[in-house]
Structure 1
Amino acid sequence: MTDWILDGDVIADVERATFIFTFKNNSDQPMLIEFPTSQFYDYKVYNAQGEQVYHYSNGKFFLQVLKYESLNSLEQIQWKSTWNYKTNDGVRAPAGTYTVNVILEIWKINDKLVHSKPATSFTFNIPPENIAIR
């Protein structure tokens, strides 16, 4: 049993996908997680051929601040991120199956350096574009 669980889910509609990342303290002790910047997570989206189509942090800047989150035993924290299906090249990703690889940018847990950051992957489908909306 690990001390934590990272899970991912998605709500996908015609215009966007909302990713939900849940980090749970799976231990019987309180947990203090530390982030070195204002970036709590990062993720990449890959098409069915394994090609990266979107990288969340690409072109973004994050504050250099320490952020702490305290979680009691079995308590969890969630983050949500919305993607409008635009690739990093600015074009809409076509309908199909995609994989999201997410990593939490945790620096320390209970004042100990994290050598293997929490990560998970999940798949979802982008529905066909509704051209009537345009």
Structure 2
Amino acid sequence: MKKFLVIIMAMLFIAAGCASSGESKAKDDEETENVSGEKANEETNEETKEKTDSEESDQPEEDTEQDSTEEVDLQTLLEQIEMSAAVNPETEKVTFDFSLKNNGEKDVNLHFSSGQQYEIIVKNAKGEEVYRYSEGKSFTQAVVSEEIKPSKELTFTSSWNYDQDGERVQPGTYSAEVTVLPMKMNGQTIEAKPFQVEKAFEIPSENQAFRNVKVEGENGQYTVSGEARVFEGSFMYNVEDGHQVIVMDTPVQVSEGAPGWGEFEFTVEIAEDQLPTSGTLTLMLYEISAKDGSVTNQKFVKLETFN
């Protein structure tokens, strides 16, 4: 019996030990699971943070790449536009003819901030400004748009009568800076002045006998007016077409003789069958020298061009 009790007690101790070991293992497993869960959460949070940082760092690069693309597009457009300019001085005025030609394969749309589409600045040999196209002018403030098709041109013409503050500038060498002023091209803002040309030219001496000559009319019927400073208030004219004289030498009397400037107006009539089929009718005004009868102070005026 005593031996039986000893066996029973030994079995109870063994059972108690197993229970304690199970609880300890369960506790260890629970702690391990919690630790693993916390580590997984930390790794997930870190991955999310790294992804967010990566996206944020990538965003400025995309903006930069987009800006770069726009800049290249504008530069390409600018390179396909060719500006040319010609300065044509005459006795009484200088004419500025200039244009923008589209050498590309796509349409180009120019947007101007106002009615002023260009500027012309003329300077003398000393670099002093003697003329500015926009001075004293008013322009509409509405945006103006011009389209240039491929291989086509946008042309401009302007003139200046050599006047500065009511007096004619001195003859000599001058420079003209011609600038076309679009603010946008195909919707992209233009910061600089890419369409600018500078040309040198000579202003001639004033004609001593004729000035402010104007011609009105067409098809053989013309009215010519102007001012003349001629001896005894008389001068001559004729008309030719480059091959023959059509209107023979004809005298004209002005309102007063030299040294004053006298006004004149006369008509030129040419029969239809005498008009050229192609070429230019040119009027020549001139004086006859009182000394030797030679032709002096010639001035050539275009009446009309036929094509």
- 1:52 aligns with 129
Aligned pairs for 1:48-87 (under 5 A) are: 48-87=125-164
Quote the Cα distance in structure 1 between the aligned partners of 2:104 and 2:175: 29
- 2:209 aligns with 132
**1:115 CA drift (Å):** 0.8
- 1:17 aligns with 94
Over residues 58-86 of structure 1, what are the superposed CA-to-partner deviations in whole Å (9 max), with x where a residue is unaligned?
11111011111111122111110010011
Structure 2 residue 195 is the aligned partner of structure 1 residue 114: no
Structure 2 residue 102 is the aligned partner of structure 1 residue 102: no
CA root-mean-square deviation: 1.4
Quote the Cα distance in structure 2 between the aligned partners of 1:112 and 1:90: 42
Quote the Cα distance in structure 1 between the aligned partners of 2:168 and 2:143: 35
Quote the Cα distance in structure 1 between the aligned partners of 2:187 and 2:84: 23
Q: SS at the partner of 2:121?
A: strand
Quote the Cα distance in structure 1 between the aligned partners of 2:109 and 2:154: 12
**Amino acid in the other structure paired with 1:66:** V
**1:131 CA drift (Å):** 2.2
Q: SS at the partner of 1:100?
A: strand
**Amino acid in the other structure paired with 1:125:** E
**1:52 CA drift (Å):** 0.8
**Amino acid in the other structure paired with 2:177:** N
Aligned pairs for 1:17-36 (under 5 A) are: 17-36=94-113
Q: Which has the higher strand share?
A: 1
* Alignment coverage as a number of residue pairs: 133
**1:11 CA drift (Å):** 1.9
**Amino acid in the other structure paired with 2:181:** E
**Amino acid in the other structure paired with 1:110:** N
In the alignment, structure 2 segments of 5+ residues that lack a partner are 1-75, 211-260, 262-307
Q: SS at the partner of 1:94?
A: coil
Quote the Cα distance in structure 1 between the aligned partners of 2:83 and 2:175: 16
Quote the Cα distance in structure 2 between the aligned partners of 1:25 and 1:108: 15
Greater Rg over alpha carbons, structure: 2
In the alignment, structure 1 segments of 5+ residues that lack a partner are none
Q: SS at the partner of 1:64?
A: coil
TM-score normalized with structure 1 length: 0.92
Q: SS at the partner of 2:115?
A: coil
Quote the Cα distance in structure 2 between the aligned partners of 1:46 and 1:26: 31
TM-score normalized with structure 2 length: 0.42
**1:38 CA drift (Å):** 0.8
Over residues 25-70 of structure 1, what are the superposed CA-to-partner deviations in whole Å (9 max), with x where a residue is unaligned?
2322210111111111011001112111111111111101111111
Quote the Cα distance in structure 1 between the aligned partners of 2:128 and 2:202: 15
Quote the Cα distance in structure 2 between the aligned partners of 1:25 and 1:121: 20
